[in-house]
């Protein structure tokens, strides 16, 4: 027997389908939304729609932005000779929280995973290689996750870049194997960045 009517159940199901939201959290959110004023619900729904319609990838680094070039790429104070390669925008945000990395980024939007059918052409590698041939880059820091997919991706990128003469480094250990960067504290991320090694 269902406890709630169809519209409530549908809202709970939609919220529970979001990553990191279990059924109990979905129920809590659903009831909170139902209790909100009409104006507030419209504002929330409008924000979701506007984000979906206007957010796209930065034409330089592939980070998510609602402008042509993201704030990091357009910041004149950033070190334009260093690029940190990360798997997704959440990893970029994790490194930005340390406040110590001053270079640029490149977001792959995934990692190579033959088991899942994700190859080099399915992530933003072409865009990275185009940047390396057109910009004066001296170092590429590979900051993919310490998972099998992340390591595979790092090794693949390293083999692509080595012939260009650009220095390729990998973030140091300190980031646990199998751990996602977005959940790791700033001190651990900073140690991993400072202890990076040549590949």
Which tens digit of pLDDT belongs to each residue from 171-196? 876 666 677 777 777 767 776 777 77
Closest CA to 185 of 105, 98, 84: 98
Instruction: Give burial (CB, 10 Å; 0-12/13-18/19+) of 27.
Output: middle
Residue 76's pLDDT is 94
CB–CB of 120/156 below 8 Å?
Answer: yes
Residue ranges, comma separated, of all CATH 3.40.1360.10 domains in the chain are 64-198
Given this structure, which CATH class describes domain 6-54?
A: mainly alpha
**Which residues lie closer than 8 Å to 102 by C-beta, 6 or more apart?**
77, 78, 79, 82
φ/ψ region of 165 (left if φ > 0, alpha if ψ in -120 to 50, else beta) reads: left
Residue 65's pLDDT is 96
* Segment 144-158 mean pLDDT: 91
Is the pLDDT assigned to residue 1 strictly greater than 60? no
**Which residue has better confidence, 191 or 24?**
24
What is the tens place of the pLDDT at every residue in 65-91?
Answer: 999 999 999 999 999 999 999 999 999
Q: What percentage of the chain reaches a pLDDT higher than 70?
A: 93
Question: How confident is the prediction for the chain on average, in pLDDT?
Answer: 90
CB–CB of 198/146 below 8 Å?
Answer: no
Instruction: Give burial (CB, 10 Å; 0-12/13-18/19+) of 48.
Output: exposed
Residue 183's pLDDT is 77
Residue 187's pLDDT is 64
Is the pLDDT assigned to residue 142 strictly greater than 90? yes
Residue 23's pLDDT is 92
CB–CB of 138/80 below 8 Å?
Answer: no
CB–CB of 166/145 below 8 Å?
Answer: no
Radius of gyration over every alpha carbon of the chain, rounded to an integer in angstroms: 20
What is the tens place of the pLDDT at every residue in 86-137?
Answer: 999 999 999 999 889 999 999 999 999 999 999 999 999 999 999 999 889 9
Return the CATH number of the domain spanning residue range 64-198.
Answer: 3.40.1360.10
Residue ranges, comma separated, of all CATH 1.10.8.420 domains in the chain are 6-54
d(CA 149, CA 106): 17
């Amino acid at each position: 027997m269902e406890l709630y009517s169809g519209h409530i159940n549908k809202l709970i199901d939609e919220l529970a389908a979001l990553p990191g939201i279990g059924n109990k959290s979905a129920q809590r959110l659903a009831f909170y939304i139902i209790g909100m004023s009409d104006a507030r619900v419209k504002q929330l729904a409008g924000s979701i729609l506007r984000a979906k319609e206007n957010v796209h990838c930065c034409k330089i680094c592939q980070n998510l932005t609602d402008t042509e070039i993201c704030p990091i790429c357009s910041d004149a104070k950033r070190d334009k000779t260093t690029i940190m390669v990360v798997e997704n925008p959440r990893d970029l945000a994790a490194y930005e929280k340390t406040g110590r990395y001053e270079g640029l980024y490149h977001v792959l939007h995934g990692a190579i995973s033959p088991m899942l059918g994700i190859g080099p052409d399915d992530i933003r590698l072409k865009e990275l290689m185009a940047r390396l041939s057109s910009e004066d880059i001296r170092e590429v820091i590979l900051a993919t996750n310490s998972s099998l997919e992340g390591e595979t991706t790092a090794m693949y990128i390293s083999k692509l870049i080595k012939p260009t003469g650009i220095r390729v480094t990998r973030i140091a250990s300190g980031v646990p194997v199998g751990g996602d960067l977005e959940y790791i504290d700033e001190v651990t991320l900073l140690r991993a960045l400072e202890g990076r090694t040549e590949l």
